[in-house]
Amino acid sequence: MDYFDAIVLGVVEGLTEFLPVSSTAHLTIAEKALGLEVDDPAVTAYTAVIQMGAIAAVILYFARDIWKIIRAWCLGLVRSEYRGQLDHRMGWYVIVATIPVGVVGLLAKDLITGPLRSLWVIAVALIAWSAVMYAAERVARQDRPERDLNLKDAVAIGLGQAVALIPGVSRSGATISIGLFRGLDRVTATKLSFYMSIPALIAAGLFELKDAFSGDIGVGVAVVGVVVAFVVAYASIAWLLQFVAHHPISWFVPYRVALGVLLLVLLGSGVITAT
């Protein structure tokens, strides 16, 4: 992997990490196009590491809100007057929502980074979860604002985040969809998706860090990928929040389905291989 590869993958990561189109799917496709071995542990680990750039963008963009949540959560541990506040509860919701993805990620790591990285799986998941996203918008009431969040929402969205470990599903597509099924308004569901991505993706990046440099991937290449992902992701976050305020996430469904069908055709005709 060279610096050109790092820039391409950084742009792809930054553009797709928070859009409901599956960053893993697009990174896998980009890696194939660049001639990289998608089932190489070092390449798989590298995709997790450059997510740190996208997470840094989330932390910077929501720095004020994140600080309020951390402060209220910590104070609530020792002072009862903070425990009913939304910021304190949000801290617990993020923790609870992270548990399923952490457990499934550890137990199924070899499956997720191995057989499930197949383009066959990605193609089917892109199409299948598009139906879920469409259904979520069809039934969405959007009558529950951020202040109405509860523990059941956190558990449900956390389970959705665990399902999104299947490449092609999309973590943001899964979490936003579950939020809509729970009656949350679209902006609240999207912000919650951003918040809940922080511990999950940081943990994934740190866990894979040791493998990212096990092959021919140098520190400089990794840094470039992270920086590029950070810059592009920051712009993507700002755009997505504006977009979901006025448009349904089902707008992404035609693109997801078209990409999935294209992959199936290319795989079926032997133009590309699954891994």
Question: Which of 268, 259, 247 has its CA nearest to residue 127?
Answer: 259
Containing structural domain, residue 68: 3-268
- Its pTM stands at 0.89
Tell me whether residue 117 is in a domain.
Answer: yes
Most confident listed range (33-42, 81-90, 126-135, 209-218): 126-135
Q: Among 250, 231, 164, which residue's Cα sits nearest to residue 201? A: 164
Class of residue 97 by CB neighbours under 10 A (exposed 0-12, middle 13-18, buried 19+): buried
Query: Which token pair is 126?
Result: 């892109």
- Structure tokens belonging to residue 82: 């903070």
Q: Residue 217: which region, alpha, beta or left (left: phi > 0; alpha: psi -120 to 50)? A: beta
Q: 7 lies in a domain?
A: yes
Q: How confident is the model at residue 93 (pLDDT cuts 50, 70, 90)?
A: very high
Does residue 194 belong to any structural domain of this protein?
yes
The SS3 of residue 174 is helix
pLDDT tens by residue, 164-213:
999 999 999 999 999 999 999 999 999 999 998 898 888 877 776 666 66
Q: Which residues contact 4 (CB under 8 A, 6 or more apart)?
A: none
Residue 185 inside a domain? The answer is yes
Indicate whether 34 belongs to any domain: yes
pLDDT of residue 265: 96
Residue 275 resides in a domain: no
274 in a domain, yes or no?
Answer: no
Q: State whether residue 116 is helix, strand or coil.
A: helix
Look up residue 36 and give its DSSP letter: -
Q: What percent of the chain has pLDDT over 90?
A: 65
Give the CA-trace dihedral at 31, 36, 39, 45, to 10 degrees.
-70
Nearest one of 202, 227, 237 to 6, comparing CA atoms: 227
* pLDDT tens-digit map of 199-241: 888 887 777 666 666 556 778 888 999 999 999 999 999 999 8
Is 243 inside any structural domain?
A: yes
Mean pLDDT of 244-268: 94
Paired tokens of 149: 């969040």
Helix (H) or strand (E) run with residue 194 in it: helix 186-212
How many domains in the chain? 1
User: Under 8 Å CB-to-CB from 108, ≥6 apart: which residues?
Assistant: 165
- For 103, other C-beta atoms within 10 Å of its C-beta total 12
Nearest of 69, 53, 77 to residue 237 by alpha carbon? 53
Query: In the predicted model, is pLDDT for residue 61 greater than 90?
Result: yes
